[in-house]
Amino acid sequence: MSADGSTAGAVDRRVRLFVFGRAAEIGTVPTLDEIASALGEPSDAVTASLQHLAAGRVIVLAPGTTDIWMANPFSAVPTDFRIEARGRSYFGNCVWDGLGVLALLDADGVLRTHCPDCGEPLELAVRGRRLVEATGEIHFAVPAARWWEDIGFT
């Protein structure tokens, strides 16, 4: 039973833990069918949970669907923020999330991206929980209070 005492809350918690745990384990954000199968829950219950989690800004669904787009820091779709760690590849949603994947995994690894201005490849590397290759500047275009107005752009 969840903290709020509801069955729906308990399912939401199981879905959350599975989505993030699976993404960390294999580098891929699970689909609705994979979640339902793994948890032994009906698809409509998982759909409802995904919608609850999206409403709570725990995940982001692709517009008009029940497909997970972002389980921050993980991206369900390929992006220009590729992380190599634990012998796997992951995608982050932005440079913050790319570093966030390494923080979440508590693993050494490399974040690879490109300068949006000139296209030059850039890397940030973490070893022993320390950033060891650290060139460049991270730019936040949108003030914090407006991040969720258009999270895709943010």
Region near other proteins per CB under 8 A, out of 17-25, 31-39, 41-49, 59-67: 17-25
Tokens 């199968």, located at residue: 37
Indicate the residue among 64 and 103 with the shorter CB distance to other proteins: 103
Min CB(141)–other proteins separation in Å: 4
Residue from 96, 108, 110, 151 touching other proteins (CB under 8 A): that is 96
| CA torsion through residues 142, 148, 149, 154, sign | positive
Indicate the residue among 36 and 92 with the shorter CB distance to other proteins: 92
Indicate the residue among 32 and 124 with the shorter CB distance to other proteins: 124
Region near other proteins per CB under 8 A, out of 9-17, 32-40, 42-50, 60-68: 9-17
- CA-CA distances (angstroms) from residue 95 to 5, 50, 82, 85, 115? 37, 25, 9, 15, 11
* Residue 27 found at the interface with other proteins (CB under 8 A): no
- CA-CA distances (angstroms) from residue 127 to 33, 34, 102, 124? 36, 33, 10, 10
* Residue 101 found at the interface with other proteins (CB under 8 A): yes
Region near other proteins per CB under 8 A, out of 28-36, 37-45, 82-90, 93-101: 93-101
Q: Calculate the CA 23 to chain-centre distance.
A: 8
Per DSSP, the three-state class of 39 is helix
Q: 59 φ, ψ to 5°? A: -135, 170
* Residue 55 found at the interface with other proteins (CB under 8 A): no
